[in-house]
Amino acid sequence: MRKLNDVLKKTGVEIYREITAVALYSMITSLVLVTVVMFVPLWAALVLLPVLYMPLFYGVCYAYHRKTERGKSRLKDVFQGALKGLGPSVVMGFFFVVMTLILWSTWWYYGGKEGIGYLAIGVFQTYFVIMALISQFYTFQLVIQEGMGIFKAMAHSVKLFLKFPAYTLGACFQAFCVAIPLLVTVVGFGFLFNGMWAIYQHKVTYNVLNPEEAKPAEDGVVASEARGVSI
């Protein structure tokens, strides 16, 4: 199985080759994200993000998977993927919303109280939420690459996390280190993050699912020249 640093390097090369698709797909999904976050009340945003944003995010992941199969990126794959993955993406979207609400309510309630016990509960709840989120790192890719149902994919993602804890934590840490600078620039996040995430997550998951095949297969993906974006 490839080391994470090798996967990250291959991801960087692939992003460079597919920069047009990465920017275009990221921009489309980010427009929905910005619109919902900035112009919609919080309670409505918690509903619209899973229903609107997450399917498009899934569509970006699906489009890159189709690119690895076909050797060519197509914009319509994003929308086809969004429709095809509507159910799984909505389920995952509301899962993220629930985890966020748990984290927010924990610190809203216990953060205002004095005492080491309340602080310990807050820290434990935060740890629980973070681990729950990390355990779902592979879910979308299991649905896309393996054709699993969403709940089976969520359960299998937990199993992969428990089987490869250091690898999964390292992958999430690398993604976090890339996301933070992009968030600071804002524009960089809007034009790059979703496309970069789709490529990186695909390669990391494929590496776990096919430890013996990952090296030659990924070399083949990287070796294929980008052929533009079909609309």
Q: Which helix (H) or strand (E) is 74 found in, with range?
A: strand 73-74
- Residue 228 pLDDT class (50, 70, 90 cuts): very low
- Report the C-alpha gap between 133 and 127 in whole angstroms: 10
Query: Is 220 domain-assigned?
Result: no
What DSSP assignment string belongs to 1-59?
Answer: ---HHHHHHHHHHHHHHTHHHHHHHHHHHHHHHHHHHHHS-HHHHHHHIIIIIHHHHHH
* Segment 105-130, tens digit of pLDDT: 988 888 777 778 888 888 999 999 99
Query: Is 97 domain-assigned?
Result: yes
Q: What is the mean pLDDT of the chain?
A: 87
Q: Which structural domain range is residue 97 located in? A: 4-209
- In this predicted structure, what is the pLDDT of residue 230? 44
* Segment 27-84, tens digit of pLDDT: 999 999 989 988 989 889 999 999 999 999 999 999 999 999 888 878 899 999 999 9
Query: Is 190 domain-assigned?
Result: yes
Closest by alpha carbon to 199, among 39, 92, 67?
Answer: 67
- In this predicted structure, what is the pLDDT of residue 3? 85
Query: Is 29 domain-assigned?
Result: yes
* Segment 146-162, tens digit of pLDDT: 999 999 999 999 999 99
Query: Is 43 domain-assigned?
Result: yes
Query: Is 221 domain-assigned?
Result: no
Structure tokens at 47: 């509903």
Task: Tally the C-alpha atoms within 13 A of residue 174's C-alpha that lie toward its C-beta.
Answer: 21
What DSSP assignment string belongs to 130-192?
Answer: HHHHHTTTTHHHHHHHH---HHHHHHHHHHHHHHSHHHHHHHHHHHHHHHHHHHHHSHHIIII
Task: Give the rounded percent of residues in the chain with a pLDDT score beyond 90.
Answer: 61
Query: Is 224 domain-assigned?
Result: no
CB 57 within 8 Å of CB 32 = no
Buried b (16+ CB within 10 A) or exposed e, 183-197: eeeeeebbbbbbbbb
Structure tokens at 10: 């291959």
Q: Maximum CA pair distance of the chain?
A: 60
CB atoms within 10 A of CB 103: 17
Per-residue pLDDT, averaged over 177-193, amounts to: 85
For helices 4-17 and 194-209, angle between their N-to-C axes, nearest 10 degrees: 140
Query: Is 230 domain-assigned?
Result: no
State the total domains in the chain: 1
Token look-up 């998951």 returns 205
